[in-house]
Structure 1
Amino acid sequence: MQEIPAPGPTLPPHVLVVDDDPALRELLEGYLAENELRVTAVASGRAMADVFEREAIDLVVLDLRLPGEDGMQLARQLRERAPVPIVLLTGKAEEADRVMGLEWGADDYVTKPFSPRELLARIRAVLRRYRQPAQAPVRDGQRRAYRFAGWELNLHTRRLTAPDGRKVELSNHEFSLLVALCGAPQRVLSRDQLLELSRLHSTEVYDRTVDVQVLRLRRKIESNPSQPVLILTERGAGYLFAAQVESLY
């Protein structure tokens, strides 16, 4: 059996900052990015919802006092949407809000004014608690993305992001096959199983269909498609996805 490769470089966690103060947004964007986090910063709940439609977010930093919006309601909507970690930004006099936010599912809070270093420490602590293996049960179909060997496959937008941040186009067949492989990492899957899991059989019914799609997918995600380290061939059995896979819910 071929040796399973060590995990490759990974995409940094993606943090969404929601705060109406442009100076604070700029400060946090710069500081968190300097500390190996990807950051998107927006000023409103509507913009936050828009980001969720197109990105896989690992953690939300949410100001409870957004002008004209109920920050507590936004936190509640986030928790109902997906179990994404939430760190609240609150004022010194907002103890009742902090308690309510924690009761509704927020994971931590930071009181303004705060040091970026303190916020970074709390973000890292919460992210460590939220790491989940790909084999964890899917809850209500809320799995949002897979990450493997530095790649990110967004299941909502069907976008594949390379370790260097490039967007890689996938055909419908390639996307379906990669989803099937990510859902069963380090397991040998027969061609029949891959046909079923990826639903390739709905349009083409030959075993060679899988081989062709594997070849095309290798050309997009392998450094050297002729010597693959992610999608391995198990002679007489099928294929094995050798990467360590992380699920985002």
Structure 2
Amino acid sequence: MQCRGKQDPETHIEPKLIYVVDDEAEICKLVSGELQKFNYTVRTFQTGSQAQYILRQQKPDLMIVDLGLPDMDGLSLIRQLGDSCKTGVIILSGRNSLPDRVLGLELGADDYISKPFDPRELLARTNSILRRMEKMATYQLSDRPRKQARFGGWNFNPATLTLSGQNGSQEILSTAEAELLLSLLKAPKQILSREQLLPMRHDNNTFDRCIDVRMSRIRKKLETDPKTPNLIKTVYGAGYMLMSDVDWH
């Protein structure tokens, strides 16, 4: 089912497209109704296969997905989006174990909300993720991305979210990963707290895991040995620090 938001008559900007994938019809209705109040276009799906079919045709700006779908694990849909996709992901699930949370974040989810949930919290986190993605997109389109960052044997191009190594290797970062890396690149050799890296309100455990998992994903792409990182150091009790000088060119 699709409920379309109205185009802004002054800016002609199309409303953001959000997919809600949950096998419970009442939750689809509740979430869709809440999002439509803020003029989002919402499509709801009660099976993974329905969403999977539409994903091949059109990627949304944000996908809210339950893990316990009747025909597949919701993580499979997140894998289908891939790292290079500019789609935000919120996991909305009754599976609240730490392994499920960590795996979801490792696959690139932007947030993890446990059921039962407050629709106002879901809306707030949705707005926050879309604002951050919009900010990143604006940065990519501005004059600043014409400059690239050279550091520690790597070159980062914010316009394409691409890391290039001296050996010719390339890695594509997700929007969330690029945002974290840019924060570090703007403040080399300075300790940045988790709150500075990702200024969003979460419960402490989920918030910390979210930052740590994303940083782990960045390290796997940057470091020769991610378990003993040299470029991005953890300063225990304080945050993270980029150890390299940065040359913007």
Greater Rg by CA: 1
Using structure 1 for the length normalisation, give the TM-score: 0.49
